[in-house]
Amino acid sequence: MSSAGGIQIPSRLPLLLTHEGVLLPGSTVRFSVNSPRNMQLVIQRLLRGTSLKSTIIGVIPTTRDPENDSDELPTLHKIGTAGIAVQVVGSNWPKPNYTLLITGLCRFSVSTVLKERPFVLAEVEQLDKTEQYTTPATGGINSDDGELGELSEKFYQAALQLLGMLDMSVPVVAKFRRLLDSLPREALPDVVTAMTRTSNKEKLQVLEAVSLEERFKAALSLLTKQIDGLQLLQKTKKRAPRSDKRVLPMRKSGVIPLEQFKVSDEEEDEEDTAVLEKKVYSVNMPEAALKVCLKELKRLKKMSESMPEYSLIRNYLDLMVELPWNKSTKDCLDIADARALFENDHYAMDKLKRRLLEYLAVRQLKASLKGPILCFVGPPGVGKTSVGRSIAKTLGREFHRIALGGICDQSDIRGHRRTYVGSMPGRIINGLKTVGVNNPVFLLDEVDKLGKGLHGDPAAALLEVLDPEQNHSFTDLFLNVPFDLSQVLFIATANTKATIPPALLDRMEVLEVPGYTQEEKVVIAHRHLIPKQLEQHGLSPELLHIPQETTQEVISRYTREAGVRSLERKIGAVCRAVAVKVAEGVKKTQSSDPELSGEPRDRTAPPEWPIVIDRVALKDILGPPLFELEVSERFTLPGVALGLAWTPYGGEIMFVEASRMEGEGQLTLTGQLGDVMKESAHLAITWLRANAKNYQLTNLVGGSDPLEGTDIHLHFPAGAVTKDGPSAGVTIVTCLASLFSGRLVRSDVAMTGEITLRGLVLPVGGIKDKVLAAYRAGVKNIILPKRNDKDMEELPANIRADLDFVLVENLDQVLNAAFDGGFPGTGSSHTHPQLSSKL
């Protein structure tokens, strides 16, 4: 055990390796612990220690960052400082680490490193006394002590001169003044050097000065440098108006770098709070918000930076001054320009564009219009998000998209209270901070995919946001003051209305965005998608040409969707294949590239551009077609019918298959069916049993009851997809009638409609999407409920001309239209006019 009076430090010390920061005797410094060696020192010695000696460690500088830990021990400085760990703070985020508050005791030198793992342990020799840093002054050194006394007196006078140039109202400056009288003068070089903001290199020079005389000389040099810099700054200030009472160093090469002098962190904090206070008054926030900000600012000024709440209040005030309380953009709306923009950016969607122009026209005439909140509902890939961007572009407003898919915490909308660790504002307030204006266009994307979890319902939190009568005083829990959202234009998107809560749906005006027809997709591909993909892949129309026939082939046989996302991906695949050929220098002489189509050609033929993608080349690039028009091949046996279904991704064709075998009259349903569809199947069975004699339906044993001695299995293919709804009723009846009668259903007929026990056919929804699905699948004849005739107006004229429709009111008409030559038992009074009639 070494001893030199005062506190005795152990002869063996665990060493804390540090690359940033120098601990001097008599000072207190906070160190961050991240490296494995230092972490083990804290865990094994400080956290498990029970005595004062166990909390004494050595702090020694190294030549490289110890956080970049390796098996090789970094080079240690020759002099270190023994200190007491007065505080240990641990944290597990974002990774385990500790923060140590260490008070320096004395210098030591390393004699021998005893071990390097798990932490560094060394034999040390104490170099100076500890009592001079802890014992009150008893007279100290005077001017009669020779050269050392003269140095100490000169140092003391220089310190007084420096204090006279600083503002004594600053707490750290006042503390500096008290230290001059409360500590022995031989302790002042270390303590004063630690209080001034000097470089690590200069602090190391003071640390290496073991001799008290050398220590005074090194510290005095630093003080003189600070005084010279301040004197030069004061001369400069006399030539220019002073904007601050405090004297701050000036960044000037050769005089005094800003990093070389800083009286205290508290003084810098006061400067920041002064700037922050000016911002609070300058942003022109409402009186309620200003009152809260001034109250928090007053708390911040009285709070130490080391307190956990300091950063939270500071972040809160920064957010408050960055929010656009009264900053907005001016609408530059012109209806003619808006119409031209919609036509250029979006093809088809005539009904949606007409409603948007109406909305914009009313907004131009009455700028204070409240609402409505528009909600675009349609399958993926039809352009709902891009329409929102076009509206923002038309108005000249900022655009911000908020993705709501998968959110299950109301705090994402309303924010967190500041009492929680890691609290932050909600997405609405954060979006306003991002765009910097209070009247942007907010796109609430995928509003139908909001979840509901343990932390509240985000859909309920949106009720206030999307209500024009309430959102003028929207209160985010983090802000805790009202913010006016009435100037924000909210637009929502969804794939289906079914999963949107009724209260939220009631606040929005729903605009249906249907899927595209094949002709519309061809135009969109050649107007928008192909030029976009050519540009993204470094190609041009002079290098690659995709004819319309090829585009139609991609649409009908490689993609089957309501939107155009898959179509764009397929076009991108074609561009990538051609880009390889262009990069290799392979050129084109025939209608299709032989390398792509497999056709032979003369290699010596003169080259020519562009490469034209035909059907053969398309198959070579994209592979065999994914979809075939083979609906008729599925109708080779009785008991098969083709229905039409609606999904959030557009319309789909749906086969219904039935088979029977000897049994006890049981009905089996498979294909992941919902309760409503199961009820439709039971309705169909009941109606057929009640009318079996009229339609000459028999069972396997020859009786009049179709289920007597017979088991029925009804299956809906694509079993991994959940199916529900009443619109499959007519399809199930037709499928079972085919099974019991042994007759084939017409292969070119698809149908949809709800049934009743009386045999009536009721209207259903999603007619346009269902008809488009049948059209894409090549079906030419469609059976629809009579009361859905009003929905036919939404269909494009070319589709109405290409398809044959039968509008039915009862199941007699359905069966008569679904079978060649009609169906036995269907009376002429119920027979619908010929199937080929067009609307």
Which active-site residues does the annotation give? 727, 770
Contact 38, 88 (CB under 8 A): no
Contact 401, 431 (CB under 8 A): no
Determine if residue 275 is left, alpha or beta; phi over 0 gives left, psi from -120 to 50 gives alpha, anything else beta. Answer: alpha
Six token digits for residue 684? 């169909």
Question: How far is residue 773's CA from residue 308's CA, in Å, rounded to a whole number?
Answer: 60
SS3 578: helix
CA 204, 206, 207, 213 torsion-angle sign: positive
Six token digits for residue 216? 């005074």
- Other C-beta atoms closer than 10 Å to the C-beta of 200 total 14
Say whether 292 counts as a known binding-site residue.
no
Six token digits for residue 220? 């005095």
DSSP 830: T
Angstrom CA distances, 157 to 180, 224, 233, stand at: 10, 11, 21
Say whether 89 counts as a known binding-site residue.
no
SS3 645: strand
HEC sequence for 584-642: HCCCECCCCCHHHHCCCCCCCCCCECCEECCHHHHHHHHCCCCCCCCCHHHCCCCCEEE
Say whether 380 counts as a known binding-site residue.
yes
Question: How far is residue 306's CA from residue 309's CA, in Å, rounded to a whole number?
Answer: 9
Six token digits for residue 442? 């907010």
- 614 alpha carbon, distance to own chain's centre: 41
Contact 247, 234 (CB under 8 A): yes
Q: Read out DSSP for 517-556?
A: PHHHHHHHIIIIIHHHHHHHTT--TTTEE--HHHHHHHHH
Question: How far is residue 191's CA from residue 184's CA, in Å, rounded to a whole number?
Answer: 11
Backbone angles phi, psi at 635, to 5 degrees: -105, 45
Backbone angles phi, psi at 487, to 5 degrees: -90, -10
Say whether 563 counts as a known binding-site residue.
no
Say whether 729 counts as a known binding-site residue.
no
For 19-96, where are the E strands, in sequence order?
A: 28-33, 56-61, 79-91
Which residues have a Cβ under 8 Å from the Cβ of 241 and sit 6 or more positions away?
none
Residue from 406, 425, 402 nearest 414 by CA: 425
**573-585 b/e with 16+ CB inside 10 Å = b?**
bbbebbbebbeee
Angstrom CA distances, 226 to 159, 169, 220, 248, 492, stand at: 10, 20, 10, 11, 61
Indicate the length of the chain as a whole number: 839
Say whether 104 counts as a known binding-site residue.
no
- Other C-beta atoms closer than 10 Å to the C-beta of 210 total 12
Six token digits for residue 193? 């050097």
Determine if residue 266 is left, alpha or beta; phi over 0 gives left, psi from -120 to 50 gives alpha, anything else beta. Answer: alpha
Contact 122, 12 (CB under 8 A): yes
Contact 148, 212 (CB under 8 A): yes
- Other C-beta atoms closer than 10 Å to the C-beta of 778 total 15
Binding-site entries = 378-385
Q: Which residues are annotated as part of the binding site for ATP?
A: 378-385
